[in-house]
Structure 1
């Protein structure tokens, strides 16, 4: 799962608020006050330092280190202790049903429609009200990420690139994070794929742990993406040999020695 989207709601809300508060003259005073209110709320929840860091990364400079991961589609997923979730309806994402994203992922309705138009395979999970609470995408061809990293991710024959996986907050820590991947893997197997590949931000610890939980392996490749002033991007790929995941793995429990009588 491309976990760049983890915590996307906070980031997107702050981006919109900062845009409105930055002096757009087409906005009414009421909108300005609303935007400033959102900024104050974010500072109250996350703190001034975290807010300033977010704004710096969004509008000045950010450097992503994206680790390439891979996994076969047949090996079983390691045991986990994630919480269960209520029944959901699974739908293939099409240009005709993207309105279901409005409640929980309203800032991405147009993006979902765009991805469906381009022919990528997408699944969404609907609650009892018909609202999408989770989604995930897969691509059997080179994927051009125009919406976040701004670079292209190549795909070899027999592979598919997994991206865009995200859950609504109420489903964080549930088995849905596993189930939506397994269902996508099965769908991509039917398209002739035998391997899933994706990238993960080297500084996103929850996402790295998710990859460990799902049994992914490192490819030893890292894609560096630099963004300057929110506009210009520079790319560089490098190799590495030491594992970036080993330090996050839970140590195996040693057997308890028998007591000596």
Structure 2
């Protein structure tokens, strides 16, 4: 009965077609496209009009301090500790109460994503793969989205990296806009993830020409200019 109530509620909110599409993606077949993006670590970040945020403390994520994620990211505590134990570089931004309100990860070696996509992301010499960035809702739309990346770029540059690469879901418009705001460019390759019957996954890389993000590009409004350190 609970399942029927949830299904009925979803139909009322989203409509019959959207409900059937979701059922198909979850239980029959789903295809996700992850766009590869890249950026050097020295070019200035384009002007932005993001809001300021209260002072925060930046800490390296370790297996011993992962409990700081309990309040805002309670389901990630174990994952944060595991990533730190694997030797990846992680930063968390902590508020006055000692709670992590934002985090981001980077690694200069191939990254096997066992927690979300389930595939391996190759990294070339001189690059680092950026992943897992997230902020608590209260900080959405603030300069923190810029600062978390600038600090990670600086840390990875000190490790000998000159380029950041990452992937972004083609349906995640806010994340794609953030990439454009930070000055990323498309590599014109896609990691395709196919899921069959909600259980089996298959992966394939494809390429494209031109730009997939033309419609998202806008002329930036005059504002405060952030620069990469």
Q: What is the TM-score when the length of structure 2 is the normalising length?
A: 0.87
Match of 2:211 in 1: 243
Match of 1:23 in 2: none
* Higher share in helix: 1
Where do 5+ consecutive residues of structure 2 fail to align?
222-229
Of 153, 169, 173, which residue of structure 1 is paired with 2:137?
Answer: 169
Measure, in 2, the Cα distance between the counterparts of 1:51 and 1:129: 41
Where do 5+ consecutive residues of structure 1 fail to align?
1-32, 254-261
Matches within 5 A, 1:5-16: none
Matched, 1:66 2:34: yes
Match of 1:20 in 2: none
Equivalent residues of 2:47, 2:220 under 8 A apart: no
Larger radius of gyration between Structure 1 and Structure 2: 1
Matched, 1:189 2:151: no
* 1:215 counterpart SS class: coil
Match of 1:95 in 2: 63
| Cα gap change, 1:81 to 1:97, in 2 (>3 Å) | same
| Cα gap change, 1:239 to 1:167, in 2 (>3 Å) | same
Aligned-pair Cα RMSD in Å? 2.6
Measure, in 2, the Cα distance between the counterparts of 1:230 and 1:102: 29
Measure, in 2, the Cα distance between the counterparts of 1:93 and 1:42: 38
Q: Can you list the C-alpha shifts for 1:49-96, whole angstroms capped at 9, x where unaligned?
A: 767655553444321111111000000000000111111111100000
**How far has the Cα of 1:233 moved from its partner?**
0.7
Match of 2:101 in 1: 133
Q: How many residues align?
A: 221
Matches within 5 A, 1:22-61: 54=22, 56-61=24-29
Deviates most, 53-62 or 116-125: 53-62
* 2:109 counterpart SS class: coil
Measure, in 2, the Cα distance between the counterparts of 1:95 and 1:222: 33
| Cα gap change, 1:249 to 1:233, in 2 (>3 Å) | same
